Structure 1
Amino acid sequence: MPVVPGAQRLLAYLVLHAEPVSRAAAARSLWPGATPTRASACLRSTLWRLMKWQLPLVTTAGDTLAAHRAVSVDVWTVRALAHEPCDHGIPGPEVPSGLLGGELLPGWDEPWVAQEREWFRQVRLRTLEMLSERYRRAGDLYLAHKTAVAAVRVDPLRESAHRALVELHLADGNPAEAVRQFHHYRALVRRELGLDPSPAISGLVHHLVAERPRPVSVAGNARSLN
């Protein structure tokens, strides 16, 4: 039995809030153009639809609502990873799908979604970079590369994500790929922002791209001596 669109909005609203929310706040956010009485009635009707679901989706406690913790939600997975200590072990043999997905609730234009979307983007970026470093330390360069590439896709101008890729190419014994990645980022940031890469990333490949002295022409020297 699919969740109807109105109930989807309520469930998404509760999922995006780490703490229980009051019924009044939920009604006000989800039905902003309605009177308080009408918004409360809409909330009650929507809750009734969710309560009929085969599995528990919403929990109530007094005047507050929360998404049921038995529900599997990508946002919660990302949030949990973001709060783990940096030296924590890798989450498993695969990258959690919520980190590799696209934008949060694409196509939704509600104000409360827009506010959470940028938060989720920043959390994803930091978590992807953190996981990339964990995988690299664990010796899994494939997943380290996969998570770093995902971070670049989320924000193509993020230097720390490009720097992670350069470091991974060097660790994998591919200096040409490291230089190619650096040149790609340098061209992008110059074109889009008019800036040069920082010394933190430039220094990684400086010894590989430093200009070498041009070979001296023997014939030219011979002519100059005559």
Structure 2
Amino acid sequence: MNSAVWRLRKLLASSPECTKDNHLRTVGPETILEKSAWLDVDTWALLQTAQTTLSSVAELEPCGIKDILSVLYRYEGPFLDGEEADWVLEERERLHSVFVQTALTVVRHLGQQARHHEAIQLARHALRFDPYREELVRYLLIVLALDERRNDAIRYYDHWIGLIRKELGISPLPATRATIEEIRNLHDVETLQHLRARLFGTDGRQRSLS
């Protein structure tokens, strides 16, 4: 804890707007970081973005999505990497989970809106920090295929499956295998529609038969 507080104080002191002990205070057993107009804390922005995204992403205007993307791209890995205190580990896992779930939601939304390039970029960014998250991998494969980059999707999958077998000793989930098989056999409009339906959480073939 002392090491983490020292690192935070050092970061704050590097800003000309900061006055000594004015924003990071220790009161008894608690250390308090006070909000300030000049102090841009990524964790606050990430949590606010997640709350907005997970509650009403379908209602957001394009400018709102742009703001969300700017926050997600600021995520650069584990919170206070190198610190192993219990509270740091807990907060690190919480923030990582929030980032991944928000990224998943936004990638899916962008894919639904046919904003494939943006969806691909965000999926690749998120997979830098959680490369074995299969739901995110599936979304990336789908939007690559919908963006007429079927061969890129197949190459990505072949590389990724080699990694998980080597590093984890496991095979992909059935849903992931089904997705790549559809992409490998993407030769007609029906298959394309079924693939697109996966972004909406529906099965296009079952729906067409109902």
| TM-score normalised to structure 2 length | 0.65
Once the two structures are TM-superposed, the CA of residue 125 in structure 1 deviates from its matched residue by 1.0
Match of 2:175 among 169, 175, 200: 200
Counterparts in 2 of 1:11 and 1:110: CA distance versus 1, 3 Å:
farther
Look at both structures and tell me which one has the larger radius of gyration over its CA atoms.
Answer: 1
CA distance in 2, matches of 1:7, 1:183: 42
Alignment of 1:116-195 (within 5 A): 116-195=91-170
Corresponding position of 1:8: 8
Once the two structures are TM-superposed, the CA of residue 105 in structure 1 deviates from its matched residue by 1.9
Corresponding position of 2:65: 91
Counterparts in 2 of 1:97 and 1:151: CA distance versus 1, 3 Å:
closer
CA distance in 1, matches of 2:183, 2:120: 21
Match of 2:47 among 69, 75, 79: 79
Which deviates more, 95-104 or 129-138? 95-104
Corresponding position of 2:189: none
CA distance in 1, matches of 2:6, 2:81: 16
Corresponding position of 1:33: none
CA distance in 2, matches of 1:98, 1:78: 10
Query: What is the identity, as a one-letter code, of the residue corresponding to 1:178?
Result: A
Which deviates more, 76-85 or 187-196? 187-196
Unaligned stretches of 5+ residues in structure 1: 13-47, 52-56, 211-226
Query: Deviations along 1:80-119, whole A, 9 cap, x unmatched?
Result: 1221214242531653255442221223344322221111
Higher share of residues assigned helix: 2
The question of 1:68 aligning with 2:43 is answered no
Query: What is the identity, as a one-letter code, of the residue corresponding to 1:6?
Result: W
Query: Deviations along 1:4-45, whole A, 9 cap, x unmatched?
Result: x63825999xxxxxxxxxxxxxxxxxxxxxxxxxxxxxxxxx
Query: What is the identity, as a one-letter code, of the residue corresponding to 1:77?
Result: A
RMSD (Å), alpha carbons: 3.3
CA distance in 1, matches of 2:24, 2:155: 50
CA distance in 2, matches of 1:208, 1:102: 31
Once the two structures are TM-superposed, the CA of residue 153 in structure 1 deviates from its matched residue by 0.8
Once the two structures are TM-superposed, the CA of residue 142 in structure 1 deviates from its matched residue by 2.2
Once the two structures are TM-superposed, the CA of residue 170 in structure 1 deviates from its matched residue by 0.9
Once the two structures are TM-superposed, the CA of residue 58 in structure 1 deviates from its matched residue by 6.0
Is the 8 Å Cα contact of residues 186 and 197 (structure 1) preserved in structure 2? yes
Is the 8 Å Cα contact of residues 103 and 123 (structure 2) preserved in structure 1? yes
Secondary structure of the residue aligned to 1:96 is helix
CA distance in 2, matches of 1:123, 1:140: 23
Counterparts in 2 of 1:140 and 1:8: CA distance versus 1, 3 Å:
same
Once the two structures are TM-superposed, the CA of residue 209 in structure 1 deviates from its matched residue by 4.1
User: What is the aligned length?
Assistant: 165
